[in-house]
Structure 1
Amino acid sequence: MTVNTDYHSIKVTIENSVAWVSLNRPHSLNALQEEMMTELLLALKELNRDSTIHVIVLKGEGRGFSSGGDIKAMLTMDSEEQFQGFMDMISELALTLYSMDKITICAIHGAAAGLGFSLALACDYVIAEEGSKIAMNFIGIGLVPDGGGHFLLKERLGAQKAMQVIWKGEVMNGQEAYSLGLIDKITAENKGLEEVGKLVAQLTASPLKAMKESKFILRSTKVKELKAILDLERESQWRMRQTEDHKEGIKAFTEKRKPQFKGE
């Protein structure tokens, strides 16, 4: 077992041909801010170049996988240039994870919301515990999904159903998300990593070269569309940040109350 100690906001452990990548800001429910995303992107690119690694497991430390983008950090972004740089990093992270030359698994426990859920959907397999709280909930603060959320939901649900899920923004448990087709397998509470271990053992005993070749064939034809949607998300997110509904959504979030939206 090899543990990479170069990171602060993530942890990387390598066992034989499997890399375990953990989001490691448990005090904030692994909210994604610049440092974590920078480290995660660097780690994924490094692992993708490593020919000895065949499977990557993405998971979260503490009480949940990820509560999504760090709202407090985003509130400090006053300039469009600063915000667009942040969105560019989100786009690169989503593209990298989606198109990796590895088999990727996301293990969800607790919260997997917003950008955190987008990253989960970019993986090849998504396994979640029954009591998970899964949501594409950008609408709750007057924003649109990012991290390729529109594309990734459409891939799993079709455009019409994806749109309705985005509009509702409701929190689902593991069973509800599984019934919709948003995740691939549900497990009992505290059994998620055990189930991931079984899948890892199955994969490492499989003809992985052929599996990765099929992944390349299916995903390479979709990368252009994902890039286009990421561009649209970046542009839309900046416009939505200027709306009265977004300002009300943020105010309600900080005041821990239900927002009063006006469609403005």
Structure 2
Amino acid sequence: MADYQTIRVEQTDGIVTLTLNKPDKLNAMGPEMVGEMLKAFDALPAMRARALIITGEGRGFSSGAELGGRTFDGGNPGDASRRSLQTSFNPLMLSLAGLDIPVVTAINGAAAGIGCTLALSGDLIVAGKSAYFLQAFINIGLVPDGGATWVLPKAAGIPAAMEAMLLGERIPAERAYELGMINRCVENAAVMDEARALATRLANGPTVAMGQIRRLVRNAQSQSLSDAMNAEAEAQRIAGNSEDFKEGVQAFLGKREAQFKGR
């Protein structure tokens, strides 16, 4: 296991748990953390991971970007922010979206800014009742970034997303559940137990097909119906050639529980 300074990576069987580990700064995300997360994502195939949990250490998931992570170098602040996004947060979010395994996010406390976008990028999202989601960029005269304007409207719907982004107001976990933004809203102490239960179920499933599903769903948002169906046909070819498909059919015909291997 790699030696990380700002995250913690643990593996139990096929489940990898990545914990943002700067609790003294509410897990604010700076260049070092982003780099370590990218390194951890790249290591998942070698770890034979079949599901990933992302959570935060301490009393918050993530307070967002570490302010010290955006240096202006005496130039225009906006230009520096653009460079930071293009070299740091944007590659991180694209790398997460491109993973071939299902992702569960477990949200405790604040999920703000890029932390909010990261939290809502899980395939399955579990939040404690005290958790909240916040895009407060407008309060300092900025716009949401790191994919927020793509993720939040799809999670909450355009009216709720616009309210959250234009007014800079929190979306409490229970409201997020009502809006369909998250999959589970549980007692704070039960967040990780619920996340692990979901991750275990996913890891024991046909993860080749799951990887194709997560890619199809994300790409379909910007495709025509025809393009989406062509992509489904190609994904079905990949899933249909997997060992898991053969096992699934044999288990169905034999009236037994399938033993998927993620291959």
TM-score by length of 1: 0.77
Provide Cα deviations, 1:151-202, integer angstroms capped at 9, x if missing partner: 0012223334422221122123210221122211101021100111211222
1:34-183 matches, cutoff 5 A? 34-47=31-44, 49-50=45-46, 52-74=48-70, 78-80=74-76, 82-88=80-86, 89-183=88-182
1:5-20 matches, cutoff 5 A? 5-20=2-17
Q: Distance in 1 between matches of 2:195 and 2:22?
A: 21
Structure 2 contact 132–173 (Cα < 8 Å) conserved: yes
Amino acid at match of 2:55: K
Asked which structure has the greater CA Rg, the reply is 2
How many pairs align? Answer: 220
The 3 A distance-change label for structure 1 pair 79 and 36 is farther
The 3 A distance-change label for structure 1 pair 78 and 121 is farther
Amino acid at match of 2:46: D
Identity in percent: 32
Structure 1 contact 106–123 (Cα < 8 Å) conserved: yes
The 3 A distance-change label for structure 1 pair 147 and 135 is same
Structure 2 contact 163–169 (Cα < 8 Å) conserved: no
Provide Cα deviations, 1:222-248, integer angstroms capped at 9, x if missing partner: 589xxxxxxxxxxxxxxxxxxxxxxxx
Q: Distance in 2 between matches of 1:69 and 1:60?
A: 14
Cα deviation, residue 84, structure 1: 3.3
Q: Distance in 1 between matches of 2:171 and 2:158?
A: 19
The 3 A distance-change label for structure 1 pair 78 and 84 is farther
Q: Which is worse superposed, 26-35 or 119-128?
A: 119-128
Q: Secondary structure at the match of 2:171?
A: coil
Cα deviation, residue 210, structure 1: 2.0
Query: Which segments of structure 1 move beyond 6 Å, counting only runs of 4 or more?
Result: none
Structure 2 contact 72–80 (Cα < 8 Å) conserved: no
